[in-house]
Structure 1
Amino acid sequence: MTYTLAALLAVAAVAALDLAVLRTRLLGRRAFWTAYGIVLFFQLVVNGLLTGLRIVRYDPAEIVGLRIVYAPVEDLLFGFALVLATLSLWVWTGRLGGARGGPGRRAGRRPVPRRRGAAARRSPGR
């Protein structure tokens, strides 16, 4: 299997995970694309350095040959798949009550804030 085919399969599998399995649908959210743009910038910087300085080399027979800032396009596809998979799992586990909500919290519902001030300090027996 070529590096190109593996990268394309990774993107397809993670897109299916996002849209059909976990149903987080991050691909349709502006916030995801903004976050991905930030990650992509730094990926290009690091990948460009690693491949431009020839620390990492690729077999030309295994890649398409299209490069962006020295990085093969396949690296960008794998990076996209990794970011999407990580964020999809993060959102999904948050819906289960993991990340911020605690057990039993439902997706899309905000927690009820605690009462503050004098009413909160009074004991129930008064």
Structure 2
Amino acid sequence: MTYTAAAVLGVLGALAVDLFVLRTRLVTRAVFWATYPIIIVFQLLSNGILTGRRIVIYNPNAILGLRLVYAPVEDLLFGFAMVLLTLSVWVWLGRRGVQRGPAAGEGSGLLRRLRGRA
């Protein structure tokens, strides 16, 4: 499988999870698309450094050959899939009240114990 095919499958999979599996529907919201360009800027910056300095090298037979800031355009597809899937799971878990402790504003408990002594 080429990197192009893997990137396209990644996008399709992330869209399916967002729209049909978790039903978070982030891609239907204006706020997602309004903030996504911020992610793209930093993705292009990091990809440009990694590929421009030849830290990461792509097989020319595995990509389309179109590049943006040194990186293949497939990296934008892969990055989109990764961000969408991560945010979809995050929103889904948040809707179910799943969070790691301590919750915001509770602190580690150390301050409560110290305050109790004072």
Q: Smaller-chain TM-score range?
A: 0.7 to 0.9
**Structure 2: which 5+ residue stretches go unaligned?**
101-118
| Deviation per residue, 1:35-93 (Å, 9 max, x gap) | 32111100000101111111111000000001111110111111000000000001100
Contact 1:14 1:85 in 2 (8 A): yes
Aligned to 2:37: 37
Q: Distance in 2 between matches of 1:41 and 1:72?
A: 15
> Deviation of residue 99 (structure 1)?
3.9
RMSD: 1.2
Among all aligned residue pairs of Structure 1 and Structure 2, give the percentage whose two residues are the same amino acid: 64
Equivalent pairs counted in the alignment come to: 100
Based on CA coordinates, which of the two structures has the bigger radius of gyration? 1
Moved over 3 A (4+): none
Query: What are the residue-to-residue correspondences of 1:49-60 with 2, within 5 Å?
Result: 49-60=49-60
Q: Do structure 1's residue 26 and structure 2's residue 30 form an aligned pair?
A: no
When structure 1 is superposed on structure 2, of 30-39 and 3-12 the one drifting more is 30-39
3-state DSSP of counterpart to 1:16:
helix
Contact 1:47 1:70 in 2 (8 A): yes
> Deviation of residue 34 (structure 1)?
2.4
> Deviation of residue 32 (structure 1)?
1.1
Q: Which has the higher contact order (CA 8 A, sep 6+)?
A: 2
Aligned to 2:82: 82
Q: Distance in 2 between matches of 1:87 and 1:36?
A: 11
3-state DSSP of counterpart to 1:62:
coil
TM-score (norm 2): 0.81
**Structure 1: which 5+ residue stretches go unaligned?**
101-126
TM-score (norm 1): 0.76
| Deviation per residue, 1:88-124 (Å, 9 max, x gap) | 0011001111249xxxxxxxxxxxxxxxxxxxxxxxx
